[in-house]
Structure 1
Amino acid sequence: MTVSLSKLFFSLIFLTSLFYNFWSLSNLFAPFPFSAIFDQSIKSYQANEAPQALENTSLQHIVFGIAGSASLWSHRKNYIKLWWRPSEMRGIVWLEKQVENDTDNDMLPPIRVSNSTSQQLNNYGFRLSRIVSETFRLGMKDVRWFVMGDDDTVFIPENLVRVLSKYDHNQYYYIGSSSESHMQNIHFSYGMAFGGGGFAISYPLAKALERMQDRCTQRYPALYSSDDRIHACVTELGVPLTKEPGFHQFDIYGNLFGLLTAHPIAPLVSLHHLDVISPILPYGDRFQALEKLKVPMKLDSAALMQQSICYDKPRNWSISVSWGYAVQIYRGIYYPRELVIPARTFLHWYKRSDPHSYAFNTRPVSTNSCQMPFVYVLRNGSFNADKEETNTEYVNNQKLHPPCDWKIADPFQIRRVEVHKKPDPHLWDKAPRRNCCRVQPSKKRNLLVVDVGVCGEGEVIELQ
């Protein structure tokens, strides 16, 4: 009996101890007290430490540094006048010496002479490479981006803002694109932003670059160009190139038509080397042709040059619309995979038509008269307030077209193309995708009407 009571007593003590230990451990790992305290700490941190949302990037946050030459200024300034807005933009044109004041100075950025801080000032590339630092040292307020370009570069300002708005200007960013010439990229670097096409440097990166650029440049005496020197110093800061295909160096000669009608699915940001290419539209000289682009830029800058593809089934036609620029009608059916490849209407930087010399795919211009597209170029545009859509008009300026014996309707009867499109200012806030186009009925035999817009649910670019 004594032994049984002893066993019972020790058993009770053991069970009590076990229950106490289990209760202690359950409280130790109980989720509620600790998670509640942790959640409260997070809320407190978010309330006290999280930065407030910043206003959207605008033109006022961008400072342009434009590289120029005094000897070419009287001619090149006309390119800048096409896109510069004195009341909305900030920037400086940097020349090697002062030029005479002109009556149109109020339509242009202020002009400054590059500082003579080195015996290498007479080296054109060295002088221009310091534009970022010299512009930074002016101490302008509320700057998020420094954008570099040449005096023969035309920017599309709204699209530049759209591109830069995607990136955090508080971080180190070096944004631009490479050359169209494979050999140029090999000679310099595929990782370099070609300066003529323009490139953007965030304020923090410009600040870091200014501190070390003069020392850095001395380490690369053999480098030739300004953008090559910038790339070398940015690389020493550990920053890679962020590529945006809408910056265009245009290291090519001849007619840009093949490139512009098959523009990448990205905002058109800049055009460069305008002195060595043909006028982009058949309206007067280069400046008058570029002036024509102001119409679609005002109507829907986000969509400028964007390609849409559709088919006219009854007539067996393939249609390519490069909005705000040109429309092409092809006899027969050409799949999108082919039409999105630029046709070689141009020569590369070394003035040869070598398909292996480009940094992108190209296709030959057909010599078969039946395969040559009928081309319609922009004539005018307007906005229909009742329908809330743009109406752009394209006309055929080809006086003759080679005869074709195909048993397909002849597009020569079409003298005019109308394209209706609703503007979409948020086009580039979404995943990149081509707009779809649809041929509309028309009572006029010489008129083709096309509607362009966001692709519908399940809509496919195919002959239906």
Structure 2
Amino acid sequence: MISSTFNFSSTAIWKTLAFSTLILIVLIIFSNQPNSLQTDIIHVATNQSFLPLNTTNISHLVFGLVGSTKAWRYRKSYIESWWRPNTTRGYLYLDRTPTDDLLPWSQNSPPFRISDDNSKLLVETKHVAPIMVRMVHAVIEVFREEREGVRWYVMGDDDSIFFVDNLVDELSKYDHTKYIYIGGHSESIISNQVYSYDMGFGGAGLILSYPLAKMVQQNIEDCFRRYPYLNSADLILMTCVNDFGVSVTPHQGLHQMDIRGDASGFLSAHPRVPLLSLHHFDHIDPIFHSMDRFESTNHLMKAANVDQPRLIQQTICYNRNLNWSFSVSWGYSVHIYEKLIPRSILKIPLETFKPWIQKAKPPLYIFNTRTLSNDPCATPHVFSFESIKNINDYESKIITSYTRFGSRGLPTCGFANNHSVDSVSRINVVSPNRKPNQNGKTECCDVLEIDDMGVAKLNLRDCMNDELIA
């Protein structure tokens, strides 16, 4: 009996010693690792654990916007249209202290910081583009300011217009613990060829996951030393990120807007992805022709603040009795054609705009376009977004209203059987107050009525199984 007890106790003691030794070995291994590894372990443990239960939200995004004091006085309206004080995280990095006319600093603007003095680095590297170094260096500066709970760093310019709710939704689809670099291509073929198709264009927004931003913060100054001849901030960042083994993940919702003039054709046929950003509003006409650029931006945000996922998403439907085609760009415009035109044609943007490089030769754009014509069957009647309201019937819905932009000055299309769209003065579009179906298809719509007052009513809805848009 004594022998049996002794054997049992010995076994228990040896098991305890073995387990304790294993724990001690693990502690020794981690205690000998660099501090950065310990910091990353803490960051992941405190902020990135239980990923399936902790969906990305606006607090996980930090914006780093780079601008100049001189330009801010007339560009701040672009940023204030989407910035949410006390909610959005981030900073505006200026080249010098704000002048008296900008003080006291507006509470509707991002808090500002003065960019680091990089003069010693510039002397050492003999870099050819000091301004571009300053812009890229902002990644270091915003990372230094904001780290707690951050998943994504969104870098932009002082005229970048972001759609924050859509950004949050889209970034929640990616694993923020991996090395990810998201960007948008230029709309201009020549810009992509001159720089790179593997580069994100910064005005559209460059998005770095936390691990990648940390790596950039630790290595970017060495990158300046390796590539002192690069003269573009976006190219510098892309080259450095590629040295880390990371390539761009392109997103069609990020828009550099490398076009000029009337962008309405582009915005009325957006790809079937959420709108994440717009840029270069100083280089295009006001997107609502009866308003200036800043009024236009705020007007678009009226729709964005109610239903951002549906913003400028294209939906197409037909009135076969009248031979009319309707193309809805939700929250922006409605086009009516006096002919039944396939969706494969209507989804191609009308070339209302001009190329970014004026003397460039075709092909000009990275997407197909439809040329403008005086053909009454190919030229739409255009209606612009006017107002938006919520209604609560048996189901919560949203009504957007669109009014005629102006007369086409063309006769009725022969296919319309003398049914001219000139009689229509307003279009009301009813949509469900929820996100569009995420099943890979666009929404469908019905032309409910066109009354004697010239008001057309359309209804957006989920497409039925096997329903054709034709």
Which TM bucket (shorter chain)?
0.7 to 0.9
| Aligned residue runs from structure 1 range 14-29, under 5 A | none
Confirm or deny that 1:141 pairs with 2:157: no
C-alpha separation in 2, matches of 1:405 and 1:82 = 41
Which residue identity lines up with residue 420 of structure 1 in the other structure? V
Match 1:338 to one of 338, 342, 345: 345
Confirm or deny that 1:234 pairs with 2:244: no
Alpha-carbon contact 1:253-1:351 (below 8 Å) kept: no
Partner of 1:61: 60
Residue 351 (structure 1) shift: 2.2
Structure 1 segments unaligned to the other structure (5+ residues): 1-48
- The 1:314/1:117 distance shift into structure 2, 3 A limit, reads same
- The 1:426/1:460 distance shift into structure 2, 3 A limit, reads closer
Deviations 1:238-283 (A, max 9, x none): 1111111100001110111111111010000100001000111123
- Secondary structure of the 1:214 match is helix
- Secondary structure of the 1:186 match is helix
Partner of 2:4: none
Partner of 1:108: 109
Match 2:386 to one of 361, 372, 379: 379
- The 1:400/1:433 distance shift into structure 2, 3 A limit, reads closer
Confirm or deny that 1:279 pairs with 2:286: yes
Residue 51 (structure 1) shift: 5.3
Residue 54 (structure 1) shift: 4.0
Deviations 1:428-462 (A, max 9, x none): xx343211111102433501111112111221101
Which residue identity lines up with residue 204 of structure 1 in the other structure? P
C-alpha separation in 2, matches of 1:289 and 1:283 = 8
Confirm or deny that 1:449 pairs with 2:438: no
Partner of 2:76: 77
Give TM-score, length-normalised by structure 2.
Answer: 0.84
Greater mean deviation of Cα atoms: 281-290 or 362-371: 362-371
Alpha-carbon contact 2:66-2:158 (below 8 Å) kept: yes
| Aligned residue runs from structure 1 range 281-296, under 5 A | 281-296=288-303
Greater mean deviation of Cα atoms: 188-197 or 367-376: 367-376
Match 2:175 to one of 165, 168, 171: 168
Alpha-carbon contact 1:327-1:375 (below 8 Å) kept: yes
Give TM-score, length-normalised by structure 1.
Answer: 0.85
Confirm or deny that 1:90 pairs with 2:89: yes
C-alpha separation in 1, matches of 2:267 and 2:413 = 30
- Secondary structure of the 2:81 match is helix
C-alpha separation in 2, matches of 1:249 and 1:265 = 17
C-alpha separation in 2, matches of 1:330 and 1:369 = 8
- Secondary structure of the 2:281 match is coil
Alpha-carbon contact 2:181-2:208 (below 8 Å) kept: yes
Partner of 1:6: none
Partner of 1:411: 421
Greater mean deviation of Cα atoms: 290-299 or 388-397: 290-299
Residue 221 (structure 1) shift: 1.8
Partner of 1:425: 435
Residue 405 (structure 1) shift: 6.2
Residue 371 (structure 1) shift: 2.5
Deviations 1:86-115 (A, max 9, x none): 121111111111113434521111111111
Residue 173 (structure 1) shift: 0.6
Alpha-carbon contact 2:310-2:436 (below 8 Å) kept: no
C-alpha separation in 2, matches of 1:115 and 1:297 = 35
Alpha-carbon contact 2:64-2:139 (below 8 Å) kept: yes
Alpha-carbon contact 1:346-1:353 (below 8 Å) kept: no
Which residue identity lines up with residue 409 of structure 1 in the other structure? H
C-alpha separation in 2, matches of 1:417 and 1:210 = 51
Identity of aligned residues (%): 37
Residue 233 (structure 1) shift: 0.5
Confirm or deny that 1:309 pairs with 2:319: no
- The 1:208/1:405 distance shift into structure 2, 3 A limit, reads closer
C-alpha separation in 2, matches of 1:87 and 1:453 = 36
- Secondary structure of the 2:62 match is strand
C-alpha separation in 2, matches of 1:231 and 1:150 = 17
- Secondary structure of the 1:440 match is strand
Task: Give the RMSD, CA atoms, in angstroms.
Answer: 1.9
